[in-house]
Structure 1
Amino acid sequence: MQTPESNAVLMATDLNKTFPGDNGGLNIFNNISIRADAGESIAILGSSGAGKSTLLSILAGLDEPSQGNVVLLGKSLSGLDEESRAELRSNHISFVFQSFQLLPELSALDNVQLALEIQGHSEPLKQAGYWLNRVGLEQRHHHTPAQMSGGEQQRVAIARAFATEPSLLFADEPTGNLDDKTGTEIIDQLFELNQQLNTTLILITHDASLAQRCQRRLQLHNGQLLEL
């Protein structure tokens, strides 16, 4: 049964995306609609090149659809300018990427602290340390990304993502650069924090076994988004 509309963190309706080119351009997907409620976990599956990352960019307001609309936390993205969309992302959305996206010249502590400072947190240093400790990096506060393993770097990225207490977390192939054992540990931590904070999670993956851990699974195939 559908929950009340006010419980929806994200609602996308009739999304189309076409990149300009010869012969009418390249159509990525057609008439995609998706709803994500508070605390819900959703996996979006698809092969390489299916358009998963493009869809994520549109849902997060990083890119615009050719047609259709996205509503985040009750605000229509089509009605916001780029500055307003950036402010909405900063205050309510976090990301975990395959490539970690840490600033290489900064320590683990500084990478997390910077995200909190951008959000305007009153105690960014204290909170950054707390979240690094929470993901098991008590001994890595002052290490730069180059001094850490891939798994440790992804833990920093997870600490950074959850430190701002987002309403919505997008994870794009978060274990893609990790070995199986480390990847499993990272995903365990991601889901544990997701449940504790009641964050809505949208997970982009090609891994069916990883997708099984989400409450809902969607398949992006031939431009259509199908419920599995």
Structure 2
Amino acid sequence: MTPEPSAVLIANALAKTFADQSGGLDIFTDISLRAEAGESIAIIGPSGAGKSTLLSILAGLDEPSKGSVELLGQPLAGLDEHSRAEMRANHISFVFQSFQLLPELTALDNVQLALEIQGHPNPEQQAADWLDRVGLQARHQHTPARLSGGEQQRVAIARAFATQPSLLFADEPTGNLDEQTGTEIIEQLFQLNQQLNTTLILITHDTSLAQRCQRRLYLHNGRLQEQ
């Protein structure tokens, strides 16, 4: 008998409420989600539905008003902020719409820094190898200001995968790119994700992009439904 795959992420009965003048605004209520090792999941929905807020909670960047999140079997509620940050550094990577590169560092240094934080051996060579892998052989010493949007996102992808995370969160990764560049970036993202067998949770409003994932979940009116 084949053993069941292990869950990388389990969210149970999540709710998030923000205080306002009326007493409270419910962003979402009673959201549960399980992501297995190597699985790709798209969370789609209209702008303002709470997709990025949900990502922040799943990644331990924010706390739910109710409910619980487990990452790699560890309940986040039992961790202080330092321990959460350490878990993210060791097991989670992010690819954002806005690239989130350090502007004063070169492409090489941006990737190398992520490796150094984890204590990887020979981080400079590993960073160079990953930049080559995403087609930036001639851009190692370029700062973000000297790179196109697509090149900046390739650096972000190299940085994300270089640490070989268990879980990758991608939040509208093509939102600041033209259609052709966005298509190229997505091809690279999914190719590397399959090669490393990373669990991918993709936040997007693009239904065609969501179709690339194994599962599609729709967030609307505070509820998460399987499509």
TM-score normalised by the shorter chain: which range applies? over 0.9
Q: What is the alpha-carbon distance in structure 1 between the residues aligned to residue 64 and residue 106 of structure 2?
A: 36
- Amino acid in structure 2 at the alignment position of 1:222: N
Secondary structure of the 1:32 match is strand
- Amino acid in structure 2 at the alignment position of 1:145: P
Query: 2:147 maps to which residue?
Result: 148
> Structure 1 residue 6: deviation in Å?
6.3
Secondary structure of the 1:22 match is coil
Secondary structure of the 1:196 match is helix
Q: What is the alpha-carbon distance in structure 2 between the residues aligned to residue 19 and residue 35 of structure 1?
A: 25
Decide whether the 8 Å contact of 2:105 with 2:143 is kept in 1.
Answer: yes
Decide whether the 8 Å contact of 2:42 with 2:215 is kept in 1.
Answer: yes
Range with greater deviation from structure 2 (156-165 or 113-122): 113-122
Q: What is the alpha-carbon distance in structure 2 between the residues aligned to residue 174 and residue 104 of structure 1?
A: 19
Query: 2:192 maps to which residue?
Result: 193
> Structure 1 residue 72: deviation in Å?
0.2
Matched, 1:60 2:59: yes
- Amino acid in structure 2 at the alignment position of 1:11: I
Q: What is the alpha-carbon distance in structure 2 between the residues aligned to residue 140 and residue 177 of structure 1?
A: 20
- Amino acid in structure 1 at the alignment position of 2:26: N
> Structure 1 residue 23: deviation in Å?
2.0
Q: What is the alpha-carbon distance in structure 2 between the residues aligned to residue 23 and residue 110 of structure 1?
A: 47
Q: What is the alpha-carbon distance in structure 2 between the residues aligned to residue 218 and residue 119 of structure 1?
A: 32
Q: 1:44 to 1:127 in 2, by over 3 A?
A: same
Query: 2:68 maps to which residue?
Result: 69
Decide whether the 8 Å contact of 2:5 with 2:37 is kept in 1.
Answer: no
- Amino acid in structure 1 at the alignment position of 2:120: H
Secondary structure of the 2:22 match is helix
> Structure 1 residue 62: deviation in Å?
0.1
> Structure 1 residue 5: deviation in Å?
6.8
Q: What is the alpha-carbon distance in structure 1 between the residues aligned to residue 5 and residue 107 of structure 2?
A: 37
User: What's the TM-score once normalised by structure 2's chain length?
Assistant: 0.98
Query: 2:212 maps to which residue?
Result: 213
Equivalenced residues, count: 226
Secondary structure of the 2:29 match is strand
Gaps of 5+ in 1: none
Aligned-pair identity in percent equals 78
Instruction: Deviation per CA, 1:158-179: give whole Å up to 9, x if none.
Output: 0000000000000000000000
Matched, 1:82 2:78: no
Instruction: Deviation per CA, 1:37-56: give whole Å up to 9, x if none.
Output: 00000000011100000000
> Structure 1 residue 20: deviation in Å?
1.2
> Structure 1 residue 140: deviation in Å?
0.3
Within a 5 Å distance, the mapping from 1:100-139 to structure 2 comes to 100-139=99-138
Q: What is the alpha-carbon distance in structure 2 between the residues aligned to residue 186 and residue 133 of structure 1?
A: 15
Q: What is the alpha-carbon distance in structure 2 between the residues aligned to residue 153 and residue 225 of structure 1?
A: 32
Q: What is the alpha-carbon distance in structure 2 between the residues aligned to residue 169 and residue 155 of structure 1?
A: 15
User: What's the TM-score once normalised by structure 1's chain length?
Assistant: 0.97
Q: What is the alpha-carbon distance in structure 2 between the residues aligned to residue 74 and residue 186 of structure 1?
A: 31
Query: 2:24 maps to which residue?
Result: 25
- Amino acid in structure 1 at the alignment position of 2:151: E
Secondary structure of the 1:23 match is coil
Query: 2:38 maps to which residue?
Result: 39
> Structure 1 residue 84: deviation in Å?
0.6
